[in-house]
Amino acid sequence: METVTVIGAGLAGCEAAWQLARRGVAVELHEMKPAKKSPAHHSGDFAELVCSNSLRSDELTNAVGLLKEELRRCGSLILRCADRHRVEAGGALAVDREGFSAAVTEAVRSHPHITVVEGELERVPETGQVIVATGPLTSDALAGSIRDFLGGEDYLSFFDAAAPLVSFESVDMTRAWFASRYDKGSADYINCALSEGEYRAFWEALTTAQEAPVHGFEDKGVFEGCMPVEVMARRGFDTLRYGPLKPKGLRDPRTGAEPYAVVQLRRDNAQGSVYNLVGFQTHLKFPEQKRVFSMIPALEGAEFLRYGVMHRNTYLNSPKLLDRYYRVRRCPRVMFAGQITGVEGYVESTASGLLCATELARRLLGKPPVDFPDLTALGALAGYISNASVADFQPMNINFGLLPPLDRRVKGKREKNAAISQRALEALARLDIE
């Protein structure tokens, strides 16, 4: 049986390599780190996350919670490692990022059917089975090769952002408190209240702060799911108060009243020594981030362990290029996985890696493909990126709108979502995925 080339050791590439290897297929996994890193890379480990809560909700009333449960039931390496390195975050699956990446790296490097080849691969191999999982920060050389391989098909681009990190010991807890909204789950968030005057001063500083130069960046081109906080603030004085700074469901124990606005901090590691500013993705200059974010009362003396950064994301016009197994239609030996396909988010990237590798392994083993139906989140996501009727293709997180509606009326949004999830898991259980 031939060896499969997987390019890129992010979440999609590691998941793809693992799914192939556990079925007995030999894999050669190419990763440019540690010799070369993208602006979003900080360590030499595989499967890096930009924040502890990158895997988002773990509840079945949320579409990404359903997708994670499907991945668990399909034997996902990424979900296994995430579950083992979970940190408390209410209803979300938050992880100790360093522990998580180290676990994925160890599992992949130690598998007898996976050979890791360090160094940048600059061209799409001309022969053999290939999965390209280089992510949204594909190197210029390989991006040019992919463009040539696809016949000059244009890429679409957007910009992504990561939030700043602060040390817990530098947060002024006399002006902040632990709580989850509506007291749901454990008190996992640090809440930093702002009065109306404090919020106004913060908003004015934020909307006029200097941004770092990002070539081609425009507000209208920002992907809505990861909008920089300063861009959101410029849309109106109250936009943040109805978004990441909403005070609803929180009461300041010092006053017993709901604050005018609240900035939430979420634990970023298992030790609880590092916290990220929830919803504060940004591309302000670093000195401006220090100046403006220190205007939040509880962060007046905060130690910023990492400032927010912006980086380029690129993705394919997948509906014109790929089928529902993430194969290139005109050359099925080459497949793509991860955010380069236009699936948005780490969980979705993992899902694409699992699905395409499952299909490829079965093909190499002489088995029929697994037809993940649109009733499942896995199938619905694959259906979205391969739907040739999509006119203006944009990156998409998994959402219940991608799955078919129920054939019966269910009262209540949470109840309806739970019913959709139950239907999906029942459909998944009927499949032979090994």
The correct answer on CATH 2.40.30.260 for the domain covering 162-310 is yes
Is the CB of residue 282 less than 8 Å from the CB of residue 228?
A: yes
Question: Can you spell out the DSSP letters for 145-204?
Answer: HHHHHTTSPPPEEEEEEE--EEEGGGS-GGGEEEE-GGG-SS--EEEEEE-HHHHHHHHH
Distance CA 154, CA 408 (A): 42
CB 142 within 8 A of CB 350: no
The amino acid present at 429, given as its one-letter code, is A
The CATH superfamily holding the domain 4-155+316-429 is: FAD/NAD(P)-binding domain (3.50.50.60)
pLDDT digits (tens), the chain, 434 positions: 789 999 999 999 999 999 999 999 999 999 987 666 555 556 779 999 877 667 888 899 999 999 999 999 999 999 999 999 998 877 788 899 999 999 999 999 999 999 999 998 989 999 999 999 998 778 888 888 998 899 876 766 666 667 899 999 899 999 999 998 887 767 889 999 999 999 999 999 999 999 887 544 444 444 455 688 999 999 999 999 999 999 999 999 999 999 999 999 998 877 788 899 999 989 899 999 999 999 999 999 999 988 887 766 788 989 999 999 999 999 999 999 999 998 988 999 999 999 999 999 999 999 998 999 999 999 999 999 999 887 678 788 898 889 998 999 999 889 999 999 999 999 999 998 88
Q: Matching CATH topology for 4-155+316-429 and 162-310?
A: no
Q: Does the pTM of the predicted model rise above 0.95?
A: no
Q: 302 near 293, Cβ under 8 Å?
A: yes
Q: Give the number of residues written for the chain.
A: 434
**Do residues 157 and 314 touch, judged by C-beta distance below 8 A?**
yes
Which among 52, 81, 76, 91 has a CA at the least distance from the CA of 351? 76
Domain limits, the chain: 4-155+316-429, 162-310
d(CA 161, CA 281): 5
